[in-house]
Amino acid sequence: MSINEVFMPALSSTMTEGKIVSWVKSPGDKVEKGETVVVVESDKADMDVETFYEGYLAHIIVPAGETAPVGAAIAYIAETEAEIATAKSLANADNAAAPSTPAPTPVAVAAVAAPVTASQNGSNHQPGRVVVSPRARKLAKELKIDLNTLTGSGPYGRIVAEDVEVAVGKVQPIATPVVTAAPVPVPVPVAAPAPVPVAAPAPVPVVSSAVPGQIVPFTTLQNAVVRGMVASLSVPVFRVSYTISTDGLDKLYKQIKSKGVTMTALLAKAVAVTLQKHPILNASYSDEGIVNHPNINVSVAVAMDDGGLITPVLQNADTVDIYSLSRNWKSLVERARAKQLQPAEYNSGTFTLSNLGMFGVDTFDAILPPGQGSILAIGASRPQVVATVDGLFGVRQQMQVTVTCDHRIIYGADAAGFLQDLAKLIETNPQFLTM
């Protein structure tokens, strides 16, 4: 007799608990080796969890919508149909099982970030349920939209937030104001909804739907951010600010924007190229010493529309050409919003950019991410009256940047030298970023 235990897997290095999004299989269903049995929301993405064993899903311990810590049992798989009843009894018994009942053995599981297919439609695989992104589900609840009436435009028929917004445009009177998860106009009704290409480096601000006096539980992603920020408090940091003229960079951006280049990619490329000269800013602290990373992977902070923060990573940003880098960035943002990033796409960063300049913020201090040595905060580029070298006055576009560094491995002169060379590149040779 063999009854196996399915446990909550660790889907990322920072994950401590996971939320069951949906069970693809129902109790009593046959389970094949390598088949997806459950969709789990980690602290970064929704992941399909597969089992390496065959049998029958005998009992679900943690139902859809609930959370469990990493390593906790979430279901039992019986090897034969005859053992299903035994597994159910085991689920109701204390951990100290009867001597005649064998202790369950952990089932190896694998997690993949592939989208949930249309056949994997919802909790316990019940007919009539649909596959929905977390943001779309929240938005539909706020706007009282029946998800069963929508057709998903996401991968494999997944309903995304844009589908809900389109539905609002169809069913709501035009004069009725609609509060969505982001302050964007309600899309005009169209024959078939399609995903909107993402060009901005981060989602627009979220319109709060909080009810006064109500306590809203943290999402899994928000809890991960909380843990990371609290951990950062133990790191001794310092900050250095610098003013950079952006006239040349702005001119270059206008020239190549039509080719799909984003300002985020340009800034990431400029930072990555400068890090080649200042590798200590790309390093991180460990108890054994300074960790000098072999690659320059630039993370960029992105606020999620349904709460929390994620940092998609532009890997090898110093060597990838600006056009490929821009395409990569657009893809990363789209998949980050749909919670479909692979772990290496959000946890492999060696240096982080946080850009609030798009919101008109002049200057701010960014909190150092766990496991990294530096983060650069970028403010808005504004016209400023400055004195020129010939003693006259002129108007220049300028932005303020502030780097936050781990003082255990990085010193003031290191940060100042990095900012000085970054300014020199952006001000005097921005064309180098296209080479």
* Active site amino acids: 407
Q: Pull the structure tokens for residue 332.
A: 């990363």
CA angle at 198 for the pair 333 and 176, rounded to the nearest 5°: 115
Tokens of 147: 């998800």
Give me the residue label for tokens 């701010």: 364
Q: How many CB atoms are closer than 10 A to CB 286?
A: 11
Cα 250 to the chain's mean position, in Å?
28
Q: How many Cα atoms sit within 13 Å of 325 on the Cβ side?
A: 29
Separation between Cα atoms, residue 39 and residue 123, nearest integer Å: 9
Tell me the C-alpha distance between 199 and 390, whole Å. Answer: 40
Residues 6+ apart with CB under 8 A from 255: none
Across 104-257, the runs of DSSP E, i.e. the strands, are 105-107, 109-112, 237-245
| Six-digit token string for 431 | 């064309």
Alpha-carbon distance of 61 to 283, in angstroms, equals: 43
Asked if 434 and 322 count as a contact pair (C-beta separation under 8 A), the reply is yes
Cα separation, 207 vs 329, in Å, equals: 25
DSSP state of 367: P
Dist. CA 186–CA 162, nearest whole Å: 9
Cβ neighbours of residue 390 under 8 Å, at least 6 residues apart?
none
Residues recorded for the chain: 435
Q: Nearest Cα to 204, choosing from 429, 359, 61?
A: 359
Alpha helices in 125-262, H assignment, sequence order: 134-143, 161-171, 220-232, 247-256
